[in-house]
Amino acid sequence: MRLSQYFLPVLKETPKEAEIVSHQLMLRAGMIKQQAAGSYSWLPLGFKVLNKVQRIIEEEQNRSGAVQLLMPTIQSADLWRESGRYDAYGKEMLRIKDRHERDMLYGPTNEEMITDIFRTYVRSYKDLPLNLYHIQWKFRDEVRPRFGTMRSREFLMKDAYSFDLDKESATAAYYRMFVAYLRTFARMGLTAVPMQADSGPIGGDLSHEFIILADTGESAVFCNKDLLEKPIPPLDTDFRGDLEPIFRDWTSLYAATEEMVDEDRFTSEVPEDKRVSARGIEVGHIFYFGTKYSKPMKATVTGADGKEIEVHMGSYGIGPTRLVPAIIEAFHDDAGIIWPVSVAPFEAVLINLKAGDEATDAACAEIYAALAAAGIDALYDDRDMGAGGKFATADLIGIPYQLIIGPRGLKSGEAEIKHRGTGERETLPIADAVERIRALVVPQRLDAI
RNA sequence: CGGGGUAUAGCUCAGCCUGGUAGAGCACUGGUUUUGGGAACCAGGGGUCGAGUGUUCGAAUCACUCUGCCCCGACCA
């Protein structure tokens, strides 16, 4: 993409409404525009990141055996009356009437609807297990939206719903999502720690929040340091096999948020040199809830013995529109964002230091074409402006590698590569630059971990 | 939903206290000179001062009402 043809409205100054660094940087980098309290447009750069985040989520959901579909944003109140949640949900639910005065609502979640789909089509125990997911916009009329898209009213959510015959197989479904989540966040460069969460009236230990550590996180978290270095389940993990050992391995080490922490357990179970006490952001939540919806909504299958069985369900959420700022909270410096390659809006930026100069333009055009041919998703800063502004823009929007071409280096046939994350610079022959970028980028795409 | 702020140009803000023809920097447009870390100069364009009502000869400025947005708390992917 040539920057001169792109739409990248970067801001030099920080808009005053933004409090936390990810919100400030998303506004400054031209990723989002606020349209109302808790409601944002995703501008091209932000949308590109959001899509990369979604793609990783989809790949890992699919790998785990979940099946994608898409449900509408606007729902009928009828289903919610059936589950009893129409009255229970409160003012967070945006209620709407259509032209026939029918009660509608903008979905804050989809348990009712997915249960309706399930009961319509699934009749036999032979059709289980089943895990259906979608990525859709949701609306919760938060009393106080804040922190940009970290806590917006309208937000994107991946939610998966598992259906099983009994608690045992539902637990296996839970483990599959647990493992899928570990892989999903790792592929975004994040170290996400599963922490025991409040499992509500169902009880048991089948509710976990996935927390990433960031200085500006919204809640305090406590965990064993070993969790931060634990290798994630590899690409060839067999999701049809027994995943309980992985689950046990991860949950054997202490980890809890401030809501759930037990100081005595933390100090007794975790050696002093392994105690991590930090801030964290919740980026995912998985939950087993048994027959909470299948019972009132009559979602049953016929078992092998001919009897009707209420299915056991779980739901598994990840918020892509929250993950984007969460990644920024984890990866930034004073100059701007530092994207992990796997979610970076562009993998490299080609900086033409003297746009308009015949030789420099020609060299850059050639390199830009070579980057495309090498499969690198590159931005070409061909704008006619000073070098300082280009460097500042490249740093701000956080492109992992800057390939810098100017008349000075051109004379000696040299290019410069700046590593956004480390600040490291290397000078190399122009002829080797594209291959060097490719060698740097490809392993960091993390699509093969 | 309680408490507290705030609203003036695309952005960051000054002007308000003490009423008298709406400002700065950045951004934008044209030009000249520049060009390896947000350049310099010249010339321009752009605002019913959030909305309404009132006080006044006169309101961005004072009073009242409403709305938007932000922060703290309670709540949440």
What is the residue extent of each domain of chain A?
31-330, 341-445
A270-293 pLDDT, tens digit per residue, is 999 999 998 899 999 999 989 989
Tokens linked to A362 = 């020609």
A100-145 pLDDT, tens digit per residue, is 999 999 999 999 999 999 999 999 999 999 999 999 999 999 888 8
pLDDT tens for chain A, residues 1 to 449 = 999 999 999 999 888 888 889 999 999 999 999 988 899 999 999 999 999 999 999 999 999 999 999 999 999 999 999 888 888 888 889 998 888 999 999 999 999 999 999 999 999 999 999 999 999 999 999 888 889 999 999 999 999 999 999 999 999 999 999 999 999 999 999 999 999 887 655 556 789 999 998 877 878 899 999 999 999 999 999 999 999 999 999 999 999 888 888 888 899 999 999 999 988 999 999 999 899 899 999 999 999 999 999 999 999 999 999 999 999 999 999 999 999 999 999 999 999 999 989 999 999 999 999 999 999 999 999 998 989 999 999 999 999 999 999 999 999 999 999 999 999 999 999 999 999 999 999 999 999 88
H helices, E strands: number in chain A? 14, 23
Nucleotide nearest to A145 (CA to C1'): B76
Q: Is A43 helix (H, G, I), strand (E, B) or coil?
A: coil
Nucleotide nearest to A393 (CA to C1'): B38
- What whole-number distance in Å separates Cα of residue A286 and Cα of residue A340? 25
- How many Å from the CA of A386 to C1' of B31? 18
Nucleotide nearest to A148 (CA to C1'): B70
Instruction: Report the DSSP beta bridge partners of residue A417.
Output: A403, A426
Amino acid at A365: A
Q: How far is CA A280 from CA A159, A337, A421, in A?
A: 21, 19, 22
Query: What is the DSSP code (8-state) at residue A124?
Result: B
CATH 3.40.50.800 fits A341-445, yes or no: yes
Fold identical between A31-330 and A341-445?
Answer: no
Tokens linked to A385 = 């402006």
> What phi and psi values does residue A163 have, to the nearest 5 degrees?
-130, 125
Nucleotide nearest to A395 (CA to C1'): B37
- How many Å from the CA of A146 to C1' of B71? 10
- How many Å from the CA of A365 to C1' of B45? 35
Q: List chain B nucleotides near protein: any atom < 7 Å from a Cβ.
A: 1-2, 11-13, 25-27, 34-39, 68-77
Amino acid at A409: G
Per-residue pLDDT, A199:
64
Of 2.60.300.12, 3.10.20.30, 3.30.930.10, 3.60.40.10, which CATH number belongs to A31-330? Answer: 3.30.930.10
Q: What is the ipTM of this complex?
A: 0.92
> What phi and psi values does residue A385 have, to the nearest 5 degrees?
-155, 175
